[in-house]
Amino acid sequence: MKVWVLNGPNLGRLDLRDHSIYGDISFKDLTDFCINTGRELGLEVEVYQSDSETQIIHWLHEASDKKIPIAFNPAAFTHYSYAIRDAVAMLQAPVIEVHLSNPLSREEFRHTSVVSGVATGTIGGFGLMSYGLALRALATLAGKGK
Ligand code: DQA
């Protein structure tokens, strides 16, 4: 089964972000981890990242049309993009919202997710393991609708 891991703004530069929050990892580490974990779970994982809301919405539309399950870290868009929320609401396969950090233990503006209410579930606070848990959830939910 094909699964997409979509990542929002600034995650492509993880190695330059606050290591005390995101860990000592690069985006390549994240990509390799997801592909390897997917392989163990029998999933064909493709990892994408964009800083552009438009690009992310286009990927979400394509995933909806192709019924592709998604692990999705919307990054800062999580907290305010109604356009991304609306695109997530149209998905036809499971979508797990993923965060490396635990947004609820951080600044107040991160306590709101406009995406959670239309996601199948949310996993945050476990670093790379958040992605591993999301992929495991998707493997378990395989073939089910959102
Ligand atoms: C993040 C949390 C967001 O609040 C933040 O804007 C990010 C990354 C995470 O993975 O912990 O860019 O989604």
Q: Indicate the pTM of the whole model.
A: 0.97
Rounded to whole angstroms, how far apart are CA atoms 36 and 115? 27
| Residue 99 is a catalytic residue | yes
**pLDDT tens string 59-89:** 999 999 999 999 999 999 999 999 999 999 9
Atom of ligand 1 minimally distant from the CA of 102: 11
Decide: residue 79, CB within 10 A, 0-12 exposed, 13-18 middle, 19+ buried. Answer: middle
**pLDDT tens string 20-58:** 999 999 999 999 999 999 999 999 999 999 999 999 999
Rounded to whole angstroms, how far apart are CA atoms 100 and 82? 21
Question: Does residue 117 contact residue 124 with C-beta atoms inside 8 Å?
Answer: no
> Is residue 142 scored above 90 in pLDDT?
no
**pLDDT tens string 105-126:** 999 999 999 999 999 999 999 9
Could you please state the CATH topology (level 3) that the domain comprising 2-141 is classified under.
Rossmann fold (3.40.50)
**Which tokens in the block code for residue 92?**
């036809």
| Residue 22 is a catalytic residue | yes
Can you give the residue ranges of every domain in the chain? 2-141
pLDDT at 145: 66
Question: Does residue 88 contact residue 113 with C-beta atoms inside 8 Å?
Answer: no
